[in-house]
Amino acid sequence: MSDRARRIDLHLHTTHSDGSLPPAAVLALAHEANVTALAITDHDITSGLPEAMKAGADYGIEVIPGIEISSRYLDTELHILGYFLDWRDPLLNERLIRLRAGRHQRNPQIIRKLQELGLAITYDEVQQLAGTESVGRPHIARVLMAKGYVSSAKEAFDRYLANGGPAFVPRDLPDPTTAIQWIREAQGVPVLAHPTWVPATGAALVSLCEELKEAGLGGIEAHYSTHKPKQTAEYLQLAQRLDLLVTGGSDFHGLTKPDIDVGTGRGDLKVPEKLLEPLRRAAEVAG
């Protein structure tokens, strides 16, 4: 790899959750982007890690076992990333199975609402496209795209699937402190994902992060594909103020986020390699 553009990417999704590429294909893209270490952070599932680790060994890329756990904060979702966790931990996997079961209960309800709106879509079609037990709204969006009802995943969410949309169905989720506890008990380091998604800014965000840190939060994702420079600077300051680790990642999904590439996000993302060692040391302490 060229030293000129070496980088890490700590937020990636595969076909094991709502990404459109299998783990080996994601690793191939990471190799092309000069990524030296990455984390597979599929939603509420870790089954993609063995394939990713095998491909990582072939490419000489370190694959960090990760997860992205969905939680409920006020009337929206808040996502907690977990790094270097024991992904084989029986209790963690039992909890993740229960969490995924909530999607299986919600998805047919979303499909019924779409059918009532006159859209010819079945849950069998969505499951077949997903090809995994971790089926979510992005898979529904992809079927809507394939059938020509929408031109993009963003349009699918904006018109139908987002909170407040005509086909939205809330999901039973743990609170953020519980998600943090699950990651800690699996010997991982919990990190607040994409803070721009959090329905709190300024002092309210600081207060929330203080509360989450008391519950065990270890870091904040300051570097992210859609963060503006001002936002990145704000989150870096927040991390320093609260003594939180800094992480970053592209949040690559493939087809549902076609403007975001592995390693480089929208073209200008570079997560520094130096952020990895503090995260590793924190995981060693946690373990």
Output the six-digit token pair for 38: 């990455």
Query: What number of other Cβ atoms are within 10 A of residue 239's Cβ?
Result: 20
> Contact, 195 vs 212, CB < 8 A?
no
Tell me the domain boundaries of the chain. 3-96+172-286, 97-161
Q: What is the pLDDT of residues 198-239, one digit of tens each?
A: 988 899 999 999 999 999 999 999 999 999 999 999 999 999
DSSP 2-41: -GGG-EEEEEE--TTTT-SS-HHHHHHHHHHTTEEEEEE-
Q: Which CATH superfamily is domain 3-96+172-286 in?
A: Metal-dependent hydrolases (3.20.20.140)
* Average pLDDT score over residue span 21-42: 97
Whether 97-161 and 3-96+172-286 are alike in CATH topology: the answer is: no
Q: Identify the H or E element spanning 279.
A: helix 276-286
Q: What is the pLDDT of residues 93-151, one digit of tens each?
A: 999 999 998 888 899 999 999 999 999 999 999 988 887 777 889 899 999 999 999 99
Q: Give the separation between CA 209 and CA 192, rounded to whole angstroms.
A: 8
3-state secondary structure of 122: coil
**Among all chains, which residue has been given the structure tokens 């069998």?**
124
Select from 2.60.40.420, 1.10.150.650, 1.20.58.2030, 3.90.1150.10 the CATH code of 97-161. 1.10.150.650
Output the six-digit token pair for 4: 């000129």
pLDDT more than 90, % of the chain: 84
